[in-house]
Amino acid sequence: MNSKSPLIASAIRTIKIEKEAVSALESRIGGDFERACSLVLECKGRVVVTGIGKSGHIGRKIAATLASTGTAAMYVHPAEASHGDIGMITVNDIVIAISNSGSTEEITALLPVLKRKGIPLITLTGDVQSELATAATCNLDVHVEEEACPLGLAPTSSTTATLVMGDAMAMALLEARGFTHNDFALSHPGGKLGRRLLVKVKDVMHSGEEIPKVSADTTLANALLEMSEKGFGLTTVIGRSGGIIGVFSDGDLRRTIDAGKDIHKTKIKDVMSPDYKSVRGNSLAAEAAQIMQDTNVYVLIVEGKDRQIQGIVKMHDLLIANVV
Protein backbone atom coordinates (compact mmCIF):
# COMPACT_ATOMS: atom_id res chain seq x y z
CA MET A 1 0.00 0.00 0.00
CA ASN A 2 1.12 3.57 -0.56
CA SER A 3 0.48 6.90 1.14
CA LYS A 4 -2.59 7.47 -1.10
CA SER A 5 -4.33 4.39 0.22
CA PRO A 6 -7.75 5.20 1.72
CA LEU A 7 -6.89 3.01 4.71
CA ILE A 8 -3.72 4.96 5.43
CA ALA A 9 -5.45 8.29 4.87
CA SER A 10 -8.20 7.30 7.34
CA ALA A 11 -5.69 6.21 9.96
CA ILE A 12 -3.70 9.43 9.67
CA ARG A 13 -6.88 11.51 9.90
CA THR A 14 -7.93 9.61 13.04
CA ILE A 15 -4.57 10.14 14.72
CA LYS A 16 -4.60 13.84 13.85
CA ILE A 17 -8.09 14.39 15.26
CA GLU A 18 -7.31 12.52 18.47
CA LYS A 19 -3.99 14.32 18.86
CA GLU A 20 -5.79 17.67 18.63
CA ALA A 21 -8.34 16.49 21.21
CA VAL A 22 -5.56 15.62 23.65
CA SER A 23 -3.67 18.86 23.02
CA ALA A 24 -6.83 20.86 23.82
CA LEU A 25 -6.81 19.43 27.36
CA GLU A 26 -3.76 21.47 28.34
CA SER A 27 -5.69 24.71 28.58
CA ARG A 28 -8.22 23.06 30.91
CA ILE A 29 -5.72 21.99 33.56
CA GLY A 30 -6.34 24.59 36.23
CA GLY A 31 -8.26 25.18 39.43
CA ASP A 32 -10.81 22.39 38.96
CA PHE A 33 -8.06 19.88 38.24
CA GLU A 34 -6.11 20.95 41.31
CA ARG A 35 -9.23 20.77 43.47
CA ALA A 36 -10.04 17.28 42.15
CA CYS A 37 -6.54 16.07 43.02
CA SER A 38 -6.75 17.66 46.47
CA LEU A 39 -10.04 15.87 47.15
CA VAL A 40 -8.43 12.55 46.29
CA LEU A 41 -5.36 13.26 48.41
CA GLU A 42 -7.60 14.14 51.37
CA CYS A 43 -9.80 11.06 50.88
CA LYS A 44 -9.69 8.69 53.86
CA GLY A 45 -11.34 5.86 51.94
CA ARG A 46 -11.19 4.75 48.32
CA VAL A 47 -11.71 6.37 44.96
CA VAL A 48 -14.72 4.72 43.32
CA VAL A 49 -14.78 5.14 39.54
CA THR A 50 -17.98 4.60 37.62
CA GLY A 51 -19.13 4.85 34.01
CA ILE A 52 -21.09 2.82 31.50
CA GLY A 53 -20.40 1.62 27.96
CA LYS A 54 -17.14 2.95 26.53
CA SER A 55 -16.89 5.33 29.50
CA GLY A 56 -17.02 2.26 31.71
CA HIS A 57 -14.06 0.72 29.90
CA ILE A 58 -12.12 3.96 30.37
CA GLY A 59 -13.22 4.07 34.00
CA ARG A 60 -11.84 0.60 34.64
CA LYS A 61 -8.49 1.64 33.18
CA ILE A 62 -8.38 4.84 35.25
CA ALA A 63 -9.23 2.91 38.43
CA ALA A 64 -6.51 0.36 37.65
CA THR A 65 -3.93 3.08 37.01
CA LEU A 66 -4.82 4.88 40.23
CA ALA A 67 -4.64 1.64 42.23
CA SER A 68 -1.22 0.72 40.85
CA THR A 69 0.26 4.17 41.54
CA GLY A 70 -0.60 4.71 45.18
CA THR A 71 -4.29 5.67 45.22
CA ALA A 72 -6.72 3.09 46.60
CA ALA A 73 -9.30 2.81 43.82
CA MET A 74 -11.89 0.46 42.38
CA TYR A 75 -14.47 0.42 39.60
CA VAL A 76 -18.21 0.03 40.26
CA HIS A 77 -20.74 -0.43 37.44
CA PRO A 78 -23.44 2.28 37.81
CA ALA A 79 -26.32 -0.05 36.94
CA GLU A 80 -25.16 -2.57 39.55
CA ALA A 81 -24.74 0.29 42.01
CA SER A 82 -28.44 1.13 41.62
CA HIS A 83 -29.27 -2.46 42.52
CA GLY A 84 -27.33 -2.79 45.74
CA ASP A 85 -23.66 -2.26 44.95
CA ILE A 86 -23.87 1.38 46.03
CA GLY A 87 -23.57 -0.09 49.51
CA MET A 88 -19.90 -0.64 48.64
CA ILE A 89 -19.42 3.14 48.64
CA THR A 90 -18.83 4.55 52.13
CA VAL A 91 -18.91 8.08 53.51
CA ASN A 92 -15.10 8.07 53.53
CA ASP A 93 -14.92 7.43 49.79
CA ILE A 94 -14.93 9.73 46.79
CA VAL A 95 -16.60 9.05 43.45
CA ILE A 96 -15.27 9.79 39.97
CA ALA A 97 -18.10 9.55 37.44
CA ILE A 98 -17.42 9.48 33.70
CA SER A 99 -20.03 10.47 31.12
CA ASN A 100 -19.38 12.24 27.84
CA SER A 101 -22.96 13.54 27.68
CA GLY A 102 -23.09 14.29 31.39
CA SER A 103 -26.62 12.92 31.52
CA THR A 104 -26.18 9.13 31.65
CA GLU A 105 -29.29 7.92 33.48
CA GLU A 106 -27.55 5.09 35.33
CA ILE A 107 -25.18 7.62 36.87
CA THR A 108 -27.61 10.49 37.51
CA ALA A 109 -29.76 7.98 39.40
CA LEU A 110 -26.96 7.74 41.95
CA LEU A 111 -26.80 11.48 42.66
CA PRO A 112 -29.44 11.61 45.43
CA VAL A 113 -27.71 8.85 47.42
CA LEU A 114 -24.27 10.40 46.97
CA LYS A 115 -25.61 13.78 48.05
CA ARG A 116 -27.38 12.28 51.07
CA LYS A 117 -24.19 10.56 52.20
CA GLY A 118 -22.12 13.68 51.55
CA ILE A 119 -19.75 11.82 49.24
CA PRO A 120 -17.61 14.17 47.09
CA LEU A 121 -18.20 13.74 43.35
CA ILE A 122 -15.65 14.41 40.62
CA THR A 123 -17.02 14.19 37.10
CA LEU A 124 -15.33 13.91 33.72
CA THR A 125 -17.84 15.13 31.16
CA GLY A 126 -17.99 16.57 27.67
CA ASP A 127 -20.71 19.08 28.66
CA VAL A 128 -19.93 21.49 31.49
CA GLN A 129 -23.61 22.51 31.68
CA SER A 130 -24.90 18.94 32.02
CA GLU A 131 -26.74 17.55 35.04
CA LEU A 132 -23.70 15.60 36.24
CA ALA A 133 -21.27 18.49 35.78
CA THR A 134 -23.44 20.96 37.69
CA ALA A 135 -24.08 18.46 40.50
CA ALA A 136 -20.40 17.63 40.92
CA THR A 137 -18.08 18.89 43.62
CA CYS A 138 -15.79 19.62 40.69
CA ASN A 139 -15.99 18.80 36.99
CA LEU A 140 -13.13 18.14 34.59
CA ASP A 141 -13.95 19.25 31.06
CA VAL A 142 -13.07 16.54 28.50
CA HIS A 143 -15.18 17.75 25.58
CA VAL A 144 -13.84 17.29 22.05
CA GLU A 145 -14.55 19.24 18.88
CA GLU A 146 -15.18 16.07 16.91
CA GLU A 147 -15.01 12.33 17.18
CA ALA A 148 -12.50 10.58 14.94
CA CYS A 149 -15.36 8.38 13.78
CA PRO A 150 -16.45 9.81 10.38
CA LEU A 151 -20.06 9.11 11.35
CA GLY A 152 -19.62 11.05 14.57
CA LEU A 153 -21.08 8.10 16.46
CA ALA A 154 -18.37 5.79 17.87
CA PRO A 155 -16.65 7.28 20.94
CA THR A 156 -13.05 7.78 19.82
CA SER A 157 -11.58 11.22 20.48
CA SER A 158 -13.78 11.60 23.54
CA THR A 159 -12.63 8.36 25.15
CA THR A 160 -9.01 9.15 24.35
CA ALA A 161 -9.30 12.60 25.95
CA THR A 162 -10.97 11.12 29.03
CA LEU A 163 -8.29 8.48 29.41
CA VAL A 164 -5.53 11.08 29.14
CA MET A 165 -7.23 13.28 31.74
CA GLY A 166 -7.40 10.26 34.05
CA ASP A 167 -3.72 9.53 33.46
CA ALA A 168 -2.91 13.19 34.19
CA MET A 169 -4.67 12.89 37.54
CA ALA A 170 -2.97 9.61 38.39
CA MET A 171 0.49 10.96 37.64
CA ALA A 172 -0.12 14.21 39.52
CA LEU A 173 -1.26 12.18 42.53
CA LEU A 174 1.71 9.81 42.20
CA GLU A 175 4.16 12.71 42.41
CA ALA A 176 2.23 14.41 45.20
CA ARG A 177 2.40 11.23 47.28
CA GLY A 178 6.12 10.75 46.64
CA PHE A 179 5.39 7.32 45.16
CA THR A 180 8.67 5.45 44.52
CA HIS A 181 10.01 2.58 42.43
CA ASN A 182 9.76 0.33 45.47
CA ASP A 183 6.15 1.35 46.06
CA PHE A 184 5.37 0.48 42.44
CA ALA A 185 7.07 -2.88 42.81
CA LEU A 186 4.97 -3.68 45.89
CA SER A 187 1.87 -3.06 43.77
CA HIS A 188 3.18 -5.40 41.05
CA PRO A 189 4.75 -8.36 42.89
CA GLY A 190 3.66 -10.85 40.26
CA GLY A 191 5.07 -9.03 37.26
CA LYS A 192 8.58 -8.95 35.87
CA LEU A 193 8.97 -5.29 36.80
CA GLY A 194 8.08 -6.06 40.41
CA ARG A 195 10.58 -8.88 40.56
CA ARG A 196 13.30 -6.67 39.08
CA LEU A 197 12.64 -4.09 41.78
CA LEU A 198 12.14 -6.44 44.73
CA VAL A 199 14.35 -9.52 44.31
CA LYS A 200 17.79 -9.12 45.86
CA VAL A 201 20.95 -11.09 45.22
CA LYS A 202 20.73 -12.77 48.64
CA ASP A 203 17.31 -14.14 47.63
CA VAL A 204 18.73 -16.13 44.70
CA MET A 205 22.38 -16.78 45.56
CA HIS A 206 23.94 -20.12 46.55
CA SER A 207 25.37 -20.12 50.05
CA GLY A 208 26.87 -22.33 52.75
CA GLU A 209 28.17 -25.70 51.58
CA GLU A 210 27.18 -24.91 47.99
CA ILE A 211 29.98 -22.33 47.67
CA PRO A 212 33.17 -23.71 46.06
CA LYS A 213 36.03 -22.80 48.41
CA VAL A 214 39.65 -23.84 48.81
CA SER A 215 42.52 -22.49 50.89
CA ALA A 216 45.41 -20.67 49.26
CA ASP A 217 47.81 -23.63 49.76
CA THR A 218 45.49 -26.19 48.16
CA THR A 219 47.02 -28.04 45.21
CA LEU A 220 45.56 -27.41 41.80
CA ALA A 221 44.47 -31.05 41.62
CA ASN A 222 42.36 -30.74 44.79
CA ALA A 223 40.99 -27.38 43.65
CA LEU A 224 39.81 -29.05 40.45
CA LEU A 225 37.95 -31.62 42.53
CA GLU A 226 36.16 -28.81 44.39
CA MET A 227 35.27 -27.14 41.11
CA SER A 228 33.94 -30.37 39.67
CA GLU A 229 31.88 -31.16 42.77
CA LYS A 230 30.24 -27.71 43.06
CA GLY A 231 29.68 -27.18 39.33
CA PHE A 232 30.11 -23.41 39.02
CA GLY A 233 33.06 -23.51 36.64
CA LEU A 234 35.27 -21.88 39.28
CA THR A 235 36.36 -22.00 42.88
CA THR A 236 37.00 -19.19 45.31
CA VAL A 237 40.33 -19.03 47.10
CA ILE A 238 40.22 -18.13 50.79
CA GLY A 239 43.12 -16.48 52.65
CA ARG A 240 44.24 -16.89 56.26
CA SER A 241 41.93 -14.10 57.45
CA GLY A 242 38.94 -15.96 56.03
CA GLY A 243 38.38 -13.44 53.28
CA ILE A 244 38.43 -14.21 49.57
CA ILE A 245 41.77 -13.46 47.90
CA GLY A 246 41.01 -14.67 44.38
CA VAL A 247 39.24 -17.13 42.12
CA PHE A 248 40.32 -19.91 39.82
CA SER A 249 38.11 -20.50 36.79
CA ASP A 250 37.94 -22.75 33.73
CA GLY A 251 39.78 -20.03 31.82
CA ASP A 252 42.59 -20.01 34.36
CA LEU A 253 42.78 -23.81 34.06
CA ARG A 254 43.30 -23.64 30.30
CA ARG A 255 46.07 -21.08 30.75
CA THR A 256 47.69 -23.19 33.47
CA ILE A 257 47.69 -26.33 31.33
CA ASP A 258 49.09 -24.37 28.37
CA ALA A 259 51.92 -23.22 30.64
CA GLY A 260 52.76 -26.89 31.42
CA LYS A 261 52.13 -26.67 35.17
CA ASP A 262 51.98 -29.87 37.25
CA ILE A 263 48.49 -29.96 38.77
CA HIS A 264 49.71 -32.11 41.70
CA LYS A 265 52.51 -29.77 42.75
CA THR A 266 51.16 -26.35 41.79
CA LYS A 267 49.37 -24.45 44.54
CA ILE A 268 46.19 -22.62 43.69
CA LYS A 269 47.49 -19.29 45.04
CA ASP A 270 50.15 -19.31 42.31
CA VAL A 271 47.73 -19.63 39.41
CA MET A 272 44.53 -17.96 40.68
CA SER A 273 43.19 -14.62 39.45
CA PRO A 274 43.25 -11.97 42.20
CA ASP A 275 40.71 -9.90 40.26
CA TYR A 276 37.11 -11.05 40.05
CA LYS A 277 33.62 -9.61 39.71
CA SER A 278 31.54 -9.33 42.85
CA VAL A 279 28.27 -7.96 44.15
CA ARG A 280 26.71 -7.33 47.57
CA GLY A 281 23.96 -9.54 48.92
CA ASN A 282 21.62 -6.57 49.44
CA SER A 283 22.02 -5.44 45.83
CA LEU A 284 19.09 -5.93 43.51
CA ALA A 285 19.30 -9.11 41.45
CA ALA A 286 18.76 -6.90 38.40
CA GLU A 287 22.01 -5.08 39.26
CA ALA A 288 23.86 -8.39 39.29
CA ALA A 289 22.42 -9.18 35.87
CA GLN A 290 23.63 -5.82 34.56
CA ILE A 291 27.16 -6.43 35.88
CA MET A 292 27.22 -9.81 34.16
CA GLN A 293 26.03 -8.36 30.88
CA ASP A 294 28.47 -5.43 31.01
CA THR A 295 31.51 -7.57 31.87
CA ASN A 296 30.59 -10.70 29.91
CA VAL A 297 30.82 -12.99 32.94
CA TYR A 298 28.15 -15.43 34.10
CA VAL A 299 29.09 -16.01 37.75
CA LEU A 300 29.48 -13.36 40.47
CA ILE A 301 30.95 -13.67 43.94
CA VAL A 302 28.66 -12.29 46.66
CA GLU A 303 30.79 -10.47 49.21
CA GLY A 304 30.14 -9.01 52.63
CA LYS A 305 32.40 -6.99 54.91
CA ASP A 306 36.18 -7.47 54.71
CA ARG A 307 35.81 -9.59 51.57
CA GLN A 308 33.99 -12.29 53.51
CA ILE A 309 32.23 -14.52 51.02
CA GLN A 310 28.45 -14.75 51.43
CA GLY A 311 27.52 -16.68 48.34
CA ILE A 312 27.74 -17.11 44.62
CA VAL A 313 25.20 -16.27 41.94
CA LYS A 314 24.94 -17.42 38.33
CA MET A 315 23.16 -15.90 35.37
CA HIS A 316 21.03 -19.06 35.31
CA ASP A 317 19.78 -18.21 38.81
CA LEU A 318 18.66 -14.77 37.60
CA LEU A 319 16.92 -16.27 34.59
CA ILE A 320 15.01 -18.67 36.84
CA ALA A 321 14.04 -15.76 39.12
CA ASN A 322 12.77 -13.97 35.98
CA VAL A 323 14.68 -10.75 36.67
CA VAL A 324 16.50 -10.80 33.33
All structural domains of the chain, each given as residue ranges with its CATH number in brackets, are 6-179 (3.40.50.10490), 201-320 (3.10.580.10)
Residue 26 CA to residue 78 CA, distance in Å, equals 29
DSSP of 212-280 = -EEETT-BHHHHHHHHHHH-SSEEEEE-TTSSEEEEEEHHHHHHHHHTT--TTT-BGGGTSBS---EEE
pLDDT digits (tens, 9 = 90+) for 105-117: 999 999 999 999 9
Q: pLDDT band at 182, cuts 50/70/90? A: low
Q: Is the per-residue pLDDT at 191 higher than 70? A: no
**What pTM value is reported for the model?**
0.65
Q: What is the mean pLDDT of residues 158-185?
A: 88
**According to the model, what pLDDT value does residue 211 have?**
94
The pLDDT value given to residue 184: 67
Q: What is the mean pLDDT of residues 216-239?
A: 93
pLDDT over 90 (residue 188)? no
